[in-house]
Amino acid sequence: MNQSKVAEGLLNDFLQHARKVGGDVEPIKVLRSNTYRIGNAHVLARVAADTGKYFFGLNYINAEEVANLDNSFIAFVCGDVGSSVIMPMSELMQLLPQISHDRNGEFKINITKDFELALKGRGNRKHLAEFLNNWNSITSPSATAGEVTPAEQSFHTVLQGRLIEIGNDRGLQTYSPNRAKKFNNIPLSDLTSLDKCPDLQFANYDSLRNIDVIWFRETGKQFYPHSAFEVELSTGIWSGVGRLAALREYSTRLFVVSNEGSKFEQVMQSQPELHSRVQNVATDHVGVLYSAETRLRDLRREIGI
């Protein structure tokens, strides 16, 4: 059996049925996963062949990204589109600590033929029958009422939150201007260690205070900009580089977070004084780094070193 062909067929069947019941189906390209906008819902689709049980791999980074979208769900297609377990992503996130995973944060989702989710502990199961073929949950007007935040905006906040947490873990002071935006249901204002951006002598403050994330090193009562990040997913790279240029007089590490490497190079060719200063970082690299730093932080706490 060609597993990749089976998976491809199951995914296509799921998307075809989604179009019948939910109308337009649009892939969320900004995420590197099989996540789709179905109506006003965002759905991560995972598929598994029928082998007596249904096994799904799920990386925490992908799950977290989808969980931060409005009206987000995960669909486990269990061997056939007529056996699709569709549950809110928030409920799965609550269950993840009870599911086994490897050191890379890959969770081993095991669903039985009776649609029970295997959890840690002998005989520990979560009944999923209430979510079986739960198409109404992603198409019902009551579930999708109100304005839905575009995926690009939500993912922008996710990247900011991850960069803030990395800076915090490294013992640096962190700042972000988007204080009301939430990452994992926590306002960025509660994640950053600085309520206000420090005013630097040789930087334009209006540009400085609007940089997406800045890490500062604190010495005495002075703050020195260690690293600065501009996340550019849909607004272009010019504006981000312009804000980073406010720190040209400092030995600050400057980064643009984007998946537009060619556009980044085009912009930097016209900025020779900054070309060697600004580095482009892919969004998935931020996710990998965040995952590694989080595991290291948890390990330090566990062993007390």
Which DSSP state fits 142?
Answer: G
Q: What share of the chain is helix, strand, coil (3-state, %, to 5)?
A: 40, 25, 35
CA distance 143 to 128: 19
Provide the pLDDT for residue 143.
57
Provide the pLDDT for residue 77.
97
142 falls in which pLDDT band (50, 70, 90)?
A: low
The class level of CATH for 3-143 reads alpha beta
Question: Are residues 90 and 72 in contact, defined by beta-carbon separation less than 8 angstroms?
Answer: yes
Provide the pLDDT for residue 23.
83
pLDDT reading at 177 higher than 80: yes
Question: How many C-alpha atoms does 61 have within 13 Å on its Cβ side?
Answer: 22
Provide the pLDDT for residue 36.
97
How confident is the model over 4-16, as a mean pLDDT? 92
**Amino acid code (one letter) for 12:** N
Q: pLDDT, tens digit, for every residue of 108-118?
A: 999 999 999 99
182 falls in which pLDDT band (50, 70, 90)?
A: very high
2 falls in which pLDDT band (50, 70, 90)?
A: low
CA distance 192 to 187: 9
As annotated, the residues of the chain forming the CATH 3.40.1350 domain(s) are 3-143
pLDDT reading at 145 higher than 80: no
239 falls in which pLDDT band (50, 70, 90)?
A: confident
Question: How many C-alpha atoms does 214 have within 13 Å on its Cβ side?
Answer: 29
pLDDT reading at 140 higher than 80: no
Question: 287 is written with which tokens?
Answer: 């996710």
Question: How large is the C-alpha radius of gyration of the chain?
Answer: 22
Provide the pLDDT for residue 197.
97
Q: pLDDT, tens digit, for every residue of 79-117?
A: 999 999 999 999 999 999 999 988 778 999 999 999 999
pLDDT reading at 146 higher than 80: no
Quickly count helices (H) and strands (E) in the chain: 10, 16
Q: pLDDT, tens digit, for every residue of 218-236?
A: 998 899 999 999 999 976 7
Question: 90 is written with which tokens?
Answer: 């928030």
How confident is the model over 48-64, as a mean pLDDT? 93
3 state DSSP class of 17: helix
Beta-carbon neighbour count of residue 24 at 10 Å?
10
pLDDT reading at 1 higher than 90: no
